[in-house]
Amino acid sequence: MTSNSLAYSEQPGGGEAAELGQEAIPAPAPAGAFGLFGSDVKKNEDLKQMLESNKDSAKLEAMKRIVGMIAKGKNASELFPAVVKNVASKNIEIKKLVYVYLVRYAEEQQDLALLSISTFQRALKDPNQLIRASALRVLSSIRVPIIVPIMMLAIKEASADLSPYVRKNAAHAIQKLYSLDPEQKEMLIEVIEKLLKDKSTLVAGSVVMAFEEVCPDRIDLIHKNYRKLCNLLVDVEEWGQVVIIHMLTRYARTQFVSPWREDDGLDDNEKNFYESEDEETEKSDKRKKQYTMDPDHRLLIRNTKPLLQSRNAAVVMAVAQLYWHISPKSEAGIISKSLVRLLRSHREVQYIVLQNIATMSIQRKGMFEPYLKSFYVRSTDPTMIKTLKLEILTNLANEANISTLLREFQTYVKSQDKQFAAATIQTIGRCATNISEVTETCLSGLVCLLSNRDEIVVAESVVVIKKLLQMQPAQHGEIIKHMAKLLDSIAVPVARASILWLIGENCERVPRIAPDVLRKMAKSFTSEDDLVKLQILNLGAKLYLTNSKQTKLLTQYILNLGKYDQNYDIRDRTRFIRQLIVPNEKSGALSKYAKKIFLAQKPAPLLESPFKERDHFQLGTLSHTLNIRASGYLELSNWPEVAPDPSVRNVEVIGLAKEWAPSGKTKKENPVKKFYSESEEEEEEDSSDSNNDSENRSGSESGGDSSEDSSEDSSSEQESESESESEVENKRSSKTQRKSDLEDRGKKTSRSKTSDMSSTGSSSAEENSSDSESESESESETESRKVPKVKEKKPQQDRNPINPGVSLLDLDDFNLVSTPIALPTPALSPSLIADLEGLNLSSSSSVINVSTPVFVPTKTHVLLHRMSGKGLAAHYFFPRQPCIFDDKMVSVQITLNNTSDRKIENIHIGEKKLPVGMKMHVFNPIDSLEPEGSITVSVGIDFCDSTQTASFQLCTKDDCFNVNIQPPVGELLLPMTMSEKEFKKEQGMLTGMNEASATIIAAPQNFTSSMILQKVVNVANLGAVPTSQDNIHRFAAKTVHSGSLMLVTVELKEGSTAQLIINTEETLIGSVLLRELKPVLSQG
């Protein structure tokens, strides 16, 4: 197209006038005469005719060409009237292209654009959701202020649409309307508030985006939706995830207290998390000194973790910055691996990720040190990547790795990319200043570089050496002399200036060379660069002060040259120096101090990372990348001193019980309700199974609805809501709604499986159960990693009464693990559920469940006394974690101490004398244990559900000691959670022979729920079962080896007596347990 139309595009307002003008001109050209020689007028006329024809194909062709024009940036605005007529076209492609056109030009042709509005209004009521959605999209994209009320109305309606896709578009429309007319803010916030409550994953991302754009400061809107957003997160589409994570990061920084207290040590948080409610009780005295992570804070950290595995770099980065900004420092380490993975991606991704790593590596070196080699530079990297990698390598350098790094740097210095080589030299300089051990080595290396052939390299070396010498000038006379010689050869002004400055500064150490240098420079003064001239003046002045005999004349000569220099600065400096150093009658008091002024001790420059000051920007943001505040950047606030009221996040606002007991009671009541509706259901099991199985992607619709409902009628359970709890909830209250869903599903199942229902069915049922079993395995892994921490905290934990409220929560977690009470589950492949439409996800969407036993007793048992072990002492205790070696084993932690004064070598387990059937998984031999050293190892022993002793030999290099472990009966169990109903059902099947009971008598104060729980779990690894009655406490577990149920009931009777009942198939263990529990419960 010619300049004609281009001109129009420059002045959109003139479009109409121009068009009128064109219409005035008669256009005699016949159709089809467009092409190379056709003028604009003709061509557009042609298009107009095509648009007005009756044939869709002609219209489509015309529209395609028009879109082509738009794409090329050519102006097609004069076709507006002809195009807008087709907005109601039946042909969907024409319609779409018209939409494209409209959105592009409506702003310029506002009046005409109004013609199309009614079409959209009609389309907004179309039964097809795609059409409704796109009508809303286009309507809201038409930037015509007049239609603001119509848009507002449309948005309001769409936000209540049944289709989540339409609601998503409504969320987008909010932002558009806001940018068109900020006056609407209040109304829009209302819509946002409403949409934030939406449970569809499709909507979540978009509405948070709208929130961020319209009212990012209205953090109060988030409170109620916080947990839902956390739980939905994994299932939201990736772009939404990024936005939500960024928003939640900001949220967390305003709502939770800092997990970074130094005095608190690193691994406090785990334990504190589980005890959080404990604090409630002892709030007053403990809050001050002990940090407690809010469970909601933990929820966020935990739910974002799987996203580190996302294929989307933006999501990974978002999670990384979240961990960086809000997680305890000890946990942030996991992000480094994922960030390093991103370095394999495209160059642009690398660039941003490296920048962020650079900032991180300044503050926490340790995080990236293991990945040092991933930052090695390749000759094929673009320069910007190379420099960033160098920056990171510098930050990571320490005494241990500096020698490897310096060797690596040597190759970089020789790089063909001279800019990079220069950057490397600076890097070496920084390493030299930071790590004093290598300063000398670096310096000599840099001096070698002075004889490099490349001038840039030499110049850079000079500058860096100058900085280094400034820090310790005394011993380096030789280097200065060497550099003085370089003045003859080197031409780069910065380097020359640096050398001169250095000589001037150290002129007393090189008394013979300095005047000579000045002489040479005086000769070449006029041809030097300004920078060098200034330094010559400086050198002259300094020499004049220290060695005026030799240099007086020279200096005066230079000052004279400087006086008539062309450069203003130099003349200025000359005058200044002359006044200062040359005594004359006018010179004031200052000249007496000239020497002090010129030869003052100068502080050495700090060679700092250019990324140092970036850390005040939130990582992963544009502002961080540019190191400038980008417009719209939302500051990450500092942690509040005192956490705002956490109860605002409770979905149902009910005053928090201050004491745990009443709240615990209500809590226990709820599950009862939950499970009443549950009977025989295989379906039930099945749906929950598949829930777990498919990361809750499946079966989400009903789950979502129900969880909302349940949260409305159940009150205080949200207090410590965890995903698993809500899962339980879902089970309950979704019952009714879900039933029907399940039926649907069932139908689908049978439809697709008619023929091999049995085979596939059973296999996938196995699948499911094995699923959960191995889940427990993996969890045990995580557990076992945690074990040392738990141990450290033991004494404290002991003192605190255990909190059943919180423990319940944990047990609920555990539920997922230990419920493979394999009810025959009909196979329902996740795909089928996935097949079901609907995106509403329950708030119980997948997260990694961390399960722990209610309580880990701290008591250790002596395995080998140090006297009998010739200095080797061994203690063991039961960490109550599912064993990682074999699920039939009980895990035992053995702590070995060397109390002797020599090394004990090769500690291992020798001959095992185990009773028949028992198995043992030994620890890997320990090579050596230093005196005073201690090491904890874990072994797994399959006790076959008996209290028989496991005897084996603990051997060192020289000796073998016979030791044995006899397990308390309580350690042969793994806690389970089940509902009260399930409990009763199971109990009903374990009567008669399988029941053992005893009456206990104790003071009433010992019969508070907390006391009972504490006592019971202290003795045995049992899980508490929620209960509806105040006076009955139930506990459940299964034996480790056979998996038989172990049900313990404590029923409080009148007059300080209680009935203790144990139901189990393993009667032997049952009776032993009864014997053990009885005295514990009765004693004060």
Partner 1 sequence: MIHSLFLINSSGDIFLEKHWKSVVSRSVCDYFFEAQERATEAENVPPVIPTPHHYLLSVYRHKIFFVAVIQTEVPPLFVIEFLHRVVDTFQDYFGVCSEPVIKDNVVVVYEVLEEMLDNGFPLATESNILKELIKPPTILRTVVNTITGSTNVGDQLPTGQLSVVPWRRTGVKYTNNEAYFDVVEEIDAIMDKSGSTVTAEIQGVIDACVKLTGMPDLTLSFMNPRLLDDVSFHPCVRFKRWESERILSFIPPDGNFRLLSYHVSAQNLVAIPVYVKHSISFRDSSSLGRFEITVGPKQTMGKTIEGVTVTSQMPKGVLNMSLTPSQGTHTFDPVTKMLSWDVGKINPQKLPSLKGTLSLQAGASKPDENPTINLQFKIQQLAISGLKVNRLDMYGEKYKPFKGIKYMTKAGKFQVRT
Residues 188-227 that bind partner 1 (CB under 8 A): 202, 206, 209
**Complex with partner 1: residue 68 or 149, whichever CB lies closer:** 68
Residue 700 interacts with partner 1 (CB under 8 A): yes or no: yes
Residue 179 interacts with partner 1 (CB under 8 A): yes or no: yes
Q: Name 217's Cβ contacts closer than 8 Å, sequence gap at least 6.
A: none
What stretches of 437-567 show up as alpha helix (H) in DSSP?
439-449, 455-471, 477-486, 493-505, 513-524, 530-546, 548-563
- Residue from 289, 378, 549, 799 that binds partner 1 (CB under 8 A)? 378
Q: Using the rule CB under 8 A, give the single segment among 231-239, 270-278, 296-304, 552-560 that binds partner 1.
A: 231-239
Residue 763 interacts with partner 1 (CB under 8 A): yes or no: yes
Q: What x/- string results for residues 12 through 51 when contact with partner 1 is judged by CB under 8 A?
A: x---------------------------------------
φ, ψ for residue 976, nearest 5 deg: -135, 155
* Minimum separation from the CB atom of position 661 to partner 1 (A): 35
* Minimum separation from the CB atom of position 836 to partner 1 (A): 8
What's the CA gap between 303 and 299, in Å, rounded? 6
What's the CA gap between 76 and 83, in Å, rounded? 10
What is the three-class DSSP state of 926?
strand
What the block records as the tokens of 227 is 């947990």
What is the three-class DSSP state of 79?
helix
Looking from the CA of 307 toward its CB, the CA atoms found within 13 Å total 32
Query: Of all helices (H) and strands (E), which one includes residue 863?
Result: strand 861-864
Q: Name 547's Cβ contacts closer than 8 Å, sequence gap at least 6.
A: 507, 511, 514, 515
Single-letter amino acid code for the residue at 915: P
Contact criterion met (CB below 8 Å) for 52 and 46: no
Query: Of all helices (H) and strands (E), which one includes residue 1010?
Result: helix 1009-1019
Residue 338 interacts with partner 1 (CB under 8 A): yes or no: yes
Residue 207: name the closest of 699, 220, 221 by CA: 221
What's the CA gap between 744 and 837, in Å, rounded? 12
Contact criterion met (CB below 8 Å) for 599 and 614: no
Q: Using the rule CB under 8 A, give the single segment among 773-781, 890-898, 989-997, 1004-1012 that binds partner 1.
A: 773-781
* Minimum separation from the CB atom of position 804 to partner 1 (A): 28
- Cα 1057-1062-1067 angle, rounded to 5 deg: 140
Q: Using the rule CB under 8 A, give the single segment among 379-387, 487-495, 921-929, 930-938 that binds partner 1.
A: 379-387
- Residue from 85, 156, 261, 341 that binds partner 1 (CB under 8 A)? 341
Size of the site for partner 1 (CB under 8 A): 138
- Residue from 117, 332, 607, 839 that binds partner 1 (CB under 8 A)? 839
**Complex with partner 1: residue 414 or 519, whichever CB lies closer:** 414
**In the window 959-998, what residues touch partner 1 (CB under 8 A)?**
none
* Minimum separation from the CB atom of position 40 to partner 1 (A): 19
Q: Give the count of beta carbons closer than 10 Å to the beta carbon of residue 723.
A: 24
Q: What x/- string results for residues 578 through 617 when contact with partner 1 is judged by CB under 8 A?
A: ----------------------------------------
Residue 695 interacts with partner 1 (CB under 8 A): yes or no: yes
Strands 1045-1052 and 1057-1064: what pairing? antiparallel
Q: Using the rule CB under 8 A, give the single segment among 131-139, 281-289, 534-542, 576-584 that binds partner 1.
A: 131-139
Rg (CA), the chain: 39
What is the three-class DSSP state of 873?
strand
What's the CA gap between 267 and 271, in Å, rounded? 8
- Residue from 82, 230, 244, 318 that binds partner 1 (CB under 8 A)? 318
* Minimum separation from the CB atom of position 688 to partner 1 (A): 14
**In the window 407-446, what residues touch partner 1 (CB under 8 A)?**
408, 411, 414-416
Residue 575 interacts with partner 1 (CB under 8 A): yes or no: no
- Residue from 11, 128, 524, 560 that binds partner 1 (CB under 8 A)? 128
What stretches of 925-1008 show up as alpha helix (H) in DSSP?
980-989
- Cα 392-397-398 angle, rounded to 5 deg: 155
**In the window 261-290, what residues touch partner 1 (CB under 8 A)?**
none
- Residue from 158, 191, 219, 234 that binds partner 1 (CB under 8 A)? 234
* Minimum separation from the CB atom of position 156 to partner 1 (A): 18
What the block records as the tokens of 885 is 């070696």
Q: Give the count of beta carbons closer than 10 Å to the beta carbon of residue 463.
A: 20
**Complex with partner 1: residue 289 or 311, whichever CB lies closer:** 311
Residue 338: name the closest of 314, 361, 358 by CA: 314
Alpha carbon 315 to its chain centroid, in Å, reads 9
What the block records as the tokens of 1037 is 């577990």
- Residue from 17, 384, 553, 597 that binds partner 1 (CB under 8 A)? 384
Looking from the CA of 91 toward its CB, the CA atoms found within 13 Å total 14
Contact criterion met (CB below 8 Å) for 536 and 558: yes
* Minimum separation from the CB atom of position 310 to partner 1 (A): 6
Q: Using the rule CB under 8 A, give the single segment among 145-153, 578-586, 839-847, 1040-1048 that binds partner 1.
A: 839-847
* Minimum separation from the CB atom of position 835 to partner 1 (A): 6
Residue 836 interacts with partner 1 (CB under 8 A): yes or no: yes
Q: Using the rule CB under 8 A, give the single segment among 221-229, 369-377, 953-961, 1006-1014 that binds partner 1.
A: 369-377
Q: Name 95's Cβ contacts closer than 8 Å, sequence gap at least 6.
A: 86, 87, 88, 89
Q: Using the rule CB under 8 A, give the single segment among 14-22, 63-71, 662-670, 714-722 that binds partner 1.
A: 63-71
Residue 312 interacts with partner 1 (CB under 8 A): yes or no: yes
**In the window 92-121, what residues touch partner 1 (CB under 8 A)?**
92-93, 96-97, 99-100, 104, 107
Residue 376 interacts with partner 1 (CB under 8 A): yes or no: yes
**Complex with partner 1: residue 399 or 756, whichever CB lies closer:** 756
* Minimum separation from the CB atom of position 100 to partner 1 (A): 6
What the block records as the tokens of 979 is 């509902």
Looking from the CA of 798 toward its CB, the CA atoms found within 13 Å total 9
What the block records as the tokens of 780 is 């045990």
- Residue from 71, 474, 600, 867 that binds partner 1 (CB under 8 A)? 71
Residue 56 interacts with partner 1 (CB under 8 A): yes or no: yes
**In the window 778-797, what residues touch partner 1 (CB under 8 A)?**
778-779
* Minimum separation from the CB atom of position 198 to partner 1 (A): 14
* Minimum separation from the CB atom of position 171 to partner 1 (A): 9
Residue 239 interacts with partner 1 (CB under 8 A): yes or no: yes
**In the window 138-167, what residues touch partner 1 (CB under 8 A)?**
140-141, 143, 163-165
Contact criterion met (CB below 8 Å) for 548 and 602: no
Q: Give the count of beta carbons closer than 10 Å to the beta carbon of residue 183.
A: 10
- Residue from 456, 471, 622, 654 that binds partner 1 (CB under 8 A)? 622
What's the CA gap between 635 and 250, in Å, rounded? 8
Q: What x/- string results for residues 726 through 755 when contact with partner 1 is judged by CB under 8 A?
A: --------------------------xx-x
- Residue from 29, 88, 221, 349 that binds partner 1 (CB under 8 A)? 349
Q: Using the rule CB under 8 A, give the single segment among 37-45, 124-132, 146-154, 558-566 that binds partner 1.
A: 124-132
- Residue from 625, 1010, 1056, 1067 that binds partner 1 (CB under 8 A)? 625
- Cα 971-975-980 angle, rounded to 5 deg: 140
Q: Name 205's Cβ contacts closer than 8 Å, sequence gap at least 6.
A: 236, 237, 239, 240, 241, 243, 244
Residue 671: name the closest of 528, 812, 522 by CA: 812
**In the window 390-409, what residues touch partner 1 (CB under 8 A)?**
408
